[in-house]
């Protein structure tokens, strides 16, 4: 399995990011339903500023079944994302687009990771996206499966001891800051 530290990343690459557990703290057995519940993971803002200089596109792909469970609305999510992007931009980062799937896990809608719907939509919106020159970063098996299905390089964020083979990811890291140390730039 090819390691990310052996891949040279340039401005033609795209970075796909999960949200909960990757950018912000995931609420166990719950959903981030409003801005008051949203908290950036330590180091995420600084990392997003670095990524903005390395990648042509930075895309968030996030399952948000809290909407399907009627725990929050599309408007609640839009408010969270608007404020999140504003803070990211203040710290020198950027998000080019956010795609989300509001549906319940069953009956496995095509937009819900690990299905490829959000990536296909991103490629329709940004035709220059090449999945073979993309990295998917997330904290769940569905994130890694999503990236693998599309031929992306995959990075698993884990908070405990881990092995790469457990997740079928190209790389396992403790957070976005650690990922930066594995990227070679031209």
Neighbours of 70 (CB within 10 A): 7
**86: pLDDT confidence band, cut at 50, 70 and 90?**
very high
Query: Rounded CA gap, 23 and 25, in Å?
Result: 7
**186: pLDDT confidence band, cut at 50, 70 and 90?**
low
- Identify whether 145 is a catalytic site residue: no
Neighbouring-strand partners of residue 156: 138, 172
Domains of the chain: 4-185 (3.40.50.1000)
* pLDDT mean over 74-89: 98
pLDDT of residue 126: 98
> Is 90 exceeded by the pLDDT of residue 111?
yes
Closest CA to 19 of 166, 132, 92, 118: 118
Pick the more confident residue, 11 or 37. Answer: 37
Query: Rounded CA gap, 154 and 164, in Å?
Result: 11
Strand order in the sheet with 153-157: 97-101, 57-63, 14-17, 134-138, 153-157, 171-173
Q: What is the pLDDT of residues 143-173, one digit of tens each?
A: 999 999 999 999 999 876 555 556 789 998 9
Residue 12, C-beta contacts closer than 8 angstroms, at least 6 positions apart? 56, 128, 130, 133
pLDDT of residue 69: 93
Burial of 178 from C-beta contacts in 10 A (0-12 / 13-18 / 19+): middle
Choosing from 18, 96, 145, 170, which is the catalytic residue? 18
Token pair, residue 107, equals: 């009956």
Choosing from 6, 10, 20, 29, which is the catalytic residue? 20
- Identify whether 20 is a catalytic site residue: yes
* pLDDT mean over 95-108: 90
Question: Mean pLDDT in the chain?
Answer: 92
């Amino acid at each position: 399995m090819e390691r990310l530290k052996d891949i040279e990343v340039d401005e033609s690459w795209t970075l796909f990011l999960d949200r909960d557990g990757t950018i912000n703290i995931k609420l166990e057995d719950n959903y981030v339903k409003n801005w008051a519940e949203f908290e950036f993971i330590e180091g995420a803002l600084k990392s997003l500023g670095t990524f903005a200089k390395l990648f042509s596109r930075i895309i968030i792909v996030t399952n948000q079944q809290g909407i399907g469970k009627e725990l929050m609305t599309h408007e609640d999510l839009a408010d969270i994302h608007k404020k999140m992007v504003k803070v990211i931009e203040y710290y020198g980062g950027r998000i080019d687009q956010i795609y989300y799937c509001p549906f319940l896990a069953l009956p496995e809608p095509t937009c819900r990771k690990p299905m490829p719907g959000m990536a296909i939509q991103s490629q329709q919106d940004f035709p220059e996206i090449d999945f073979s020159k993309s990295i998917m970063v997330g904290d769940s098996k569905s994130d890694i499966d999503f990236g693998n299905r599309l031929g992306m390089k995959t990075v698993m964020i884990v908070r405990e001891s881990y092995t790469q083979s457990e997740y079928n990811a190209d790389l396992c890291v403790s957070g976005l800051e650690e990922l930066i140390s594995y990227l070679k730039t031209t």
